[in-house]
Chains A and B, each alone.
Chain A
Amino acid sequence: MQRTFFLSFLAVMLLALPVAGPQATLEIEITGGVNTASPIAIVPFVWQGQGAAPATDVADVIGADLTRSGRFKAIAAKDMLEKPTQASAINFDNWKVIGVNNLVIGRIKVTPGGGYTVEYQLFNVYTHQQLMGYSVATSAERLRYTAHFISDSIYQKLTGQRGAFTTRIAYVEVGRGGSYSLIVADADGYGAQPIMQSPHQPIMSPSWSPDGRQIAYVSFESGYPAVYIQDLGTGRREMVSQRAGLNGAPAFSPDGKSLALTLSSSPDNPDVYVLTIATKQLRRITTSDAIDTEPTWSPDGQNLYFTSDRGGTPQIYKVSAQGGEPQRITYDGNYNADSQVSPDGKSLTFVHREDGNLHIAVMDLASGTLQTITDGELDKSPSFAPNGSMIIYAATSKNQGVLEEVSVDGQVHERLTERQGGVDVRAPVWGPFLTNGQ
């Protein structure tokens, strides 16, 4: 009897105590996550001024920016169970239930001087934490830019990467009558402005200077190709090359002091050169008898990647910016051309032809693995966003040139706003990060 009692007592004590001395802990390893766009809700910002709300729907612009990047999926306003505009009004259960990870709310106020103030707050739906809250001074004219600025800050907070939503793009537009225009627009295609126009002769191959203040391009306005550098602020331009033969494919160096370009070293021999802009001195880089063209710089300014058919068909080669023996980079397929290096220097994007169709491909430079990320028929002119997360390129749709942006892994595609019919767009190039709201 006593023993039984003692045993029972022991059993009870053992059960009541924590199982091990220190709290028993399960060790679990979670390896890798899932590769989906993180659901985010941007509640329509409330207009707290008099009169009609501004034409720009700030929440809409932010949602479109984040979704276009491929890393997020902004849910539609109609799927929101509530639309709070103050932190105190948020019921996080309403957001957990629809599986949204993050929530953004905001308000637009009018300041006494006539400007606007945009306030916004970002929350983590599951921890209920406010991750950030800011107030931005702006104006009616700059409201869209401010929306992009907010997208940048949200993107950076949640991905650890700098956003590229306040950047700009340049491209060539061909009008119905055969006129050409060089256009500069926001990275989402809005706010397009022509900076140069040519009534009959082609403009091609625009290239941004690293400070975003100048664009180099090729113009055939004289009937023959010449390379120009135009200042976006003043509109003034300088012709930097009009030699006999080819003058093409200009590319600003990362330090902005040189221009790589294609010139004819002799008739029927296009070669890559580097021009020092200040002195106009030329340094010849390639010496083969084959076509050597489409130079592009590595981000450290040390190397040039270019297209050459010295092996029989166009392939990408790499050479020191000082000149030397080029090294072949692409081996997949028999047509690889028009390359651009990613901002981190680790990848290369270029046009890859397969079965007669032109696709955009991305290659990891360390391993040499190539991934085709588009499946159109005439996809060309790829260009990285300055944060390396997206690529803009030219495609053809319904017999017309269009611009598309694709996430670097090929998951998310978006066609930029198409204008009225008759407008053919091509040769897009993504501008650099801008400082101080240029």
Chain B
Amino acid sequence: MKTLRYGLMVLALALLAAGCTTAAKPKTAPAAAPAPVTAATPSAASSNAAQQVSPLDDPNSPLAQRVVYFDFDKSDIKPEFLDTLSAHAKYLVANPTQKIRIEGYTDERGTVEYNIALGDRRAQAVRRYMLFQGVKPEQIDTVSYGESHPADAGHDETAWAKNRRAVIVYLR
């Protein structure tokens, strides 16, 4: 009886331990624990391979987020995108031969050429932030397409919100 109790206790502790460490490092073996459910991710088999995939191709990396969205008529970077941009900046600083192109866009609710200028302002805002984080100017190229190449060809606020953006394109 005593052994059983010991055993149960050790088992309980072990399970608890496993659960906690899983919560601490979601990048490895996320599917193994019944503890806090993580968003659907590739199978646990990839966990060991994580180190060999470039962060640029890793869908879990913050670098996978390449688009920054803006408010109507605005070009200031919203706080929720700062971390993503910082992650990109950090990567670029660490890889000084890597170049990017920042593409600026707008929705259609303005004149064509003014929208080119507004798209440029958005691309430049992202560029300035990167430079401030230490990225070298020769690593960043910018272009503005204004209202051309919309992400969503619709004519409502949902579509427009998706079109007011700056996109980071890694040049290989």
Contact = CB atoms under 8 A, between A and B. Distances in A.
Interface string A380-413: 1100000000000000100100000000000000
Contacts of A338: 111-114
Nearest to A203: B148
B144 interface: yes
Interface in B47-77: 73
Interface string B120-154: 11001101100000000000001111001100011
Contact of B112 (A205, A264, A309, A353): A205
B127 A267 contact: yes
A264 to B, nearest CB: 7
B108 A351 contact: no
Contacts of A348: none
Given A220-B145, A224-B143, A246-B144, A205 B111 contact: no
- Determine which residue in B114, B127, B142 has the highest number of CB atoms from chain A within 10 A of its CB, and name it: B114
B116 A246 contact: yes
B2 interface: no
B71 to A, nearest CB: 14
A267 B113 contact: no
Contact of B145 (A202, A307, A426): A202
B124 A293 contact: no
Given A246-B120, A248-B116, A262-B117, A381 B143 contact: no
Contact of B109 (A291, A294, A378): A378
B145 A267 contact: no
Contact of B114 (A178, A307, A377, A396): A307
Contacts, number: 88
A314 B112 contact: no
Contact of B110 (A246, A249, A335, A396): A335
A268 interface: yes
A294 B113 contact: yes
A268 B118 CA distance: 9
Interface residues of A, number: 39
A217 to B, nearest CB: 12
Interface in A186-225: 202, 204-205, 220, 223-225
Interface size grouping (class) on chain B: 20 to 34
A291 B114 contact: yes
A293 B111 CA distance: 11
Contacts of A399: 153-155
A371 B141 CA distance: 42
Contacts of A427: 112
Interface in A338-357: 338, 351, 353, 356
B127 A205 contact: no
A270 interface: yes
- Give the interface centre of A220, A264, A268, A294 by most chain B CB atoms within 10 Å: A268
Contacts of A291: 114, 117-118, 121
B114 A314 contact: yes
A246 B155 contact: no
A256 interface: no
Given A314-B114, A335-B110, A338-B112, A268 B120 contact: yes
A358 interface: yes
A244 to B, nearest CB: 9
Interface in A360-385: 377-378, 380-381
A245 interface: yes
Contacts of B142: 245, 267
B5 to A, nearest CB: 71
B117 A270 contact: yes
A425 to B, nearest CB: 13
B124 A337 contact: no
B172 to A, nearest CB: 15
A175 B27 CA distance: 45
B148 A294 contact: no
A351 B154 CA distance: 21
Contacts of B117: 246, 262, 270, 291, 293
Interface in A143-192: 178
Interface of A: 178, 202, 204-205, 220, 223-225, 245-246, 248-249, 262, 264, 267-268, 270, 291, 293-294, 307, 309, 313-314, 335, 337-338, 351, 353, 356, 358, 377-378, 380-381, 396, 399, 426-427
9 contacts: A204-B112, A245-B120, A262-B116, A267-B142, A291-B118, A293-B113, A294-B113, A378-B109, A381-B112
Given A204-B112, A358-B110, 16 more contacts: A202-B145, A205-B112, A205-B113, A220-B148, A246-B116, A246-B144, A248-B113, A267-B127, A268-B121, A268-B124, A293-B113, A293-B116, A335-B110, A381-B111, A399-B153, A427-B112
